[in-house]
Structure 1
Amino acid sequence: MTQNATSAAQGCIFCAIVARESEASVVYEDETVVVFMDLNPVTPGHLLVVPREHAVGLDDLDQATSARVWEVGRDMARALRRSRMRCEGINVLVCDGEAAFQTVFHFHLHIVPRYVGDGWILMSEPPERERSLLDSDAHAIKEAIASTD
């Protein structure tokens, strides 16, 4: 971890969990990620996939770490489906930034098992967006893609 990353990570509960300085119910770990139970689960079995290296959001993850987080997230979803928890669905969720409800500013991937009638609602029916606005949004994103190469 660089000096800046170390400074940024000070006080980070997920960094403390990764370093085994804070308690967590760990499900899986390797050299890149640690997976543990969410302390405030949406449903029983709610997991967090956390990179060992401190990264605040998606933009702070290198490509290899990002790929590993998503790969392990998929493996955890498969494990949940096969477990005795008998979930009926899975939500995979990232909250990237305060406006997106991120509360711990160390990137993490939520793997949320779902059960019929569990009561958790992501969003009511969003309004349909006009095609011209969708096209404009698509153009803005295409421009940004070109500038990140």
Structure 2
Amino acid sequence: MAPIITLTAATLLARLTGLLGFDALDDWQLCLRIGLAAMFALTGAVHFVPKFRDDMVRMIPERLPAPALLVAATGVLELAGAAGLLVPATATAAAVCLALLLVAMFPANYSAARRGVPLAGKPATPLGIRTAEQVLFIGLCVLAAL
């Protein structure tokens, strides 16, 4: 829920700032990239917070090697993507790469939902909700890339 709240709040705050006269934020796509950057900064950072990291390691399907390394790598990629969304020259590539990263990470989300892996002490998110969130985030990354 925190990623959706962060995405929504940052996007709306950026848009409101644009509507109040800050011309640089008078573009819905830029505001969306700001919202996505805030969300990916949050989700990337929690890959390195022990209470989240341990559960994320358990989310990785057993057939994949080095789950701790995969969690760290995806965290770094999310943080890099968040920064890339804020740089005009890299924003499109960052949005496309983040969409692809979300597709690549879906097996871990699927596995976690099927196995009931909690995240930071909260119950596992049901597969239908996880899938809807992933589709939403991928769609928004695609919109940010256009």
TM-score (normalizing by structure 2): 0.29
Q: Which has the higher helix share?
A: 2
Higher strand share: 1
TM-score, length-normalised on structure 1?
0.29
From the CA coordinates, give the structure whose radius of gyration is larger: 1
